[in-house]
């Protein structure tokens, strides 16, 4: 695979270049913590929610991160 092919493949990923912090921040600003917790049932969105606690949890929990990224992609589409 050439460098151009790798670059094109990477650019097809809609999350390429978007940090997890950006994803969580934009979701929180758009939905608010309460609605975010309703849409994705995870404790870090329900009990004393914060960007930092959410990032810490999501970085360690792939299934939760996938749900958050999926909701983000639906929001920006």
pLDDT in tens, 50-63: 999 999 999 999 99
pLDDT in tens, 25-73: 999 999 999 999 999 999 999 999 999 999 999 999 999 999 999 999 9
CA 60 to chain centre: 13
pTM of this prediction? Answer: 0.84
For domain 18-76, the CATH superfamily is: SAP domain (1.10.720.30)
Rounded to the nearest 5°, which phi and psi values hold at 48? 45, 60
Contact indicator for 20, 58 with CB cutoff of 8 Å: yes
């Amino acid at each position: 695979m050439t460098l151009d092919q790798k670059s094109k493949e990477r650019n097809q990923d809609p999350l390429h270049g978007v940090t997890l912090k950006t994803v969580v921040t934009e979701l929180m600003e758009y939905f608010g913590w309460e609605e975010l917790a309703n849409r994705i049932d995870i404790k870090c969105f329900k009990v004393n929610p914060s960007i930092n606690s959410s990032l810490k949890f999501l970085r360690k929990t792939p299934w939760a991160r996938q749900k958050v990224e999926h909701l983000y992609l639906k929001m920006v589409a």
